[in-house]
Structure 1
Amino acid sequence: MPNERLRTAMAAGGWTCATLAEKAEVDPKSVERWVNLGRTPRRATALRAAEVLGEDVHALWPALRQARPARAVSPELVVLYGQRADVPVSAYVELFASARERIDILVYAAVFLHEAYPRLNDLLRERAADGCAVRIAVGDADSPNVQQRGREERFGHGIESRCRLALLHYRPLVGVPGIEVRTHGTTLYNSLYRADDQLLVNTHVFGVNAYGAPVWHLRRTGGSGMFDTYAGSFDAVWAAGRPVEG
């Protein structure tokens, strides 16, 4: 079955099978098979091609989405992604869209969400209007812990700028019924994205930017498990946070 999404992306950018093949470092016949037969390239090749086309790799080749699931060693573990860059933005969107009672977001910045999905604020407003409690905690750019993280990741003042940008993204939600926004200055060991009993945990690794660190997708199966451990850490940070005023 032809890959029409790939065909459209190539046409929009003026790419031929030959020119894309050169950038993706494969034979043109391989690209022809991707387009005409719907073949899925190896992950590394697909990532190169998607970057060249300016497309989400999982949108072009959905089969890669679950290409590297972990063998579950806990009933709470749904899948383990080797790095955040492997998680399709659609996973966050579907997660939040599925929430009926609670959405919790704990990050320093995570501006990739708004950049990749500009309707994020609209989605959060819609969930809040349906009775979902939304709590968003972003990093305080003036916090020594945020600044230290920038030094550790060799990101310098960039992380402080991204914290300020994240706050600008979320500020229109301040005052919306059902939505609370706070800043925090904690040492952030994990970024958390929760929707009811599902949770994406982006672990943080010393010296590694968040996009290069693993992500756990957890589903709560009972009390006192990993899910509740991370959920409890969110509550602790939230309690120490400072409300953002309108």
Structure 2
Amino acid sequence: MPNERLRAAMAAGGWTYATLAAKAEVDPKSIERWVNLGRTPRRATAMLAAETLGEDVHALWPALRQARAARAVSPELVALYDQRADVLVSAFTDMLAQAREHIDVLVYAAVFLHEAYPRLNGLLLERAAEGCSVRIALGDAESENVRQRGMEERFGHGIESRCRLALMHYRPLVGVPGIDLRTHETTLYNSLYRADDQLLVNAHVWGVNAYGAPVWHLRRNGAGGIFGTYAQSFDAVWATATPVQEE
């Protein structure tokens, strides 16, 4: 179906296929297809052509508006949970068990994993023995940011004791090839649980304990994206964290 809106805009401005093509940096045949066949150009090209014509890009190509709406939900989003308490512990452990290359965990404590799945260390040992890189970053119980989180969540010194408990759970893994354990002092905006191209993100909400805050399940969809943002965030924290030494 011809794009009559585009045809009228070109006529009003005295634009030909050749002159508009030069401005939009495309072949004149592309302009002809836009007008006569109703083809929709790539967004960047459409924006340039619309700006040249002094028109709204979505008025010239309604399909671009529809495509934008379709992308409102990231293709990387697998599931969204109202709170961490809604996520079965098996969702965490099954995901970790499937990892072949990377397991990254960034938390303050997250002792719920060991409490609900006492075999967690054994699972991590198995993954590491098969060549999977395992990195665990726990909150430093002595850090000001951990103490502040306890105050904000009205949890008092409980969060500090849970950081120490988490370290006690993971300490038997110190020195195991393929497994690295560190403590960090950063402000924890999200707890991250990564297994290869899957990631569970437990968002943190001021004044709300982690179990009551939302969780989104992501799966990598190419380079960059939301997954890439969180992966880079983990690496940035990891670079500042302190390795736990063998006793």
Shared fold per TM-score greater than 0.5: yes
Q: 1:129 — aligned with what?
A: 129
Aligned partners of 2:100, 2:208: CA distance in 1, in Å? Answer: 34
State the partner residue of 2:238: 238
| 1:83-94 map, 5 Å | 83-94=83-94
SS at match of 2:222: coil
- 2:162 corresponding residue in structure 1: 162
Q: Which residue of 1 aligns with 2:149?
A: 149
Instruction: Find the aligned partners of 1:142 and 1:93 in 2 and give their Cα distance.
Output: 29
1:107 counterpart letter in structure 2: V
- Structure 2 CA distance for aligned equivalents of residues 137 and 127 of structure 1: 17
Equivalence for 1:34? none
* Aligned equivalents of 1:216, 1:204: Cα separation in 2: 12
| 1:215-234 correspondence to structure 2 within 5 Å | 215-234=215-234
2:67 maps to what in 1? none
Matches within 5 A, 1:53-202: 73-202=73-202
SS in 2 for 1:186: coil
Identical positions, percent: 79
2:196 maps to a residue whose letter is D
Partners of 1:183 and 1:161 in 2: how far apart? 14
Distance 1:109 1:135 in 2: 14
Q: d(CA) in 2 for partners of 1:147 and 1:213?
A: 19
* 1:188 partner SS: coil
Residues 83-140 of structure 1: per-residue CA shift (max 9 Å, x gap)? 0000001101110000000000000000000000000000000000000000000000
What amino acid maps onto 2:194 in structure 1? R
Q: Distance in 1 between matches of 2:99 and 2:105?
A: 13
Structure 1's consecutive aligned runs of 4 or more residues displaced over 4 angstroms after TM superposition are none
**Aligned position for 1:214:** 214
Bigger-Rg structure (1/2): 2
Match of 2:39 in 1: none
Report the AA paired with residue 86 of structure 2.
Answer: D
Normalising by structure 2, we get a TM-score of 0.70
Gaps of 5+ in 1: 1-71
How many residues are matched? 176
Matches of 2:89 and 2:224 in 1, distance apart?
29
1:204 deviates by 0.1
Give the Cα separation in 2 of the matches to 1:140 and 1:225.
30
**Alignment-derived partner of residue 36 in structure 1:** none
Q: How far does residue 237 in structure 1 lie from its aligned partner after superposition?
A: 0.3
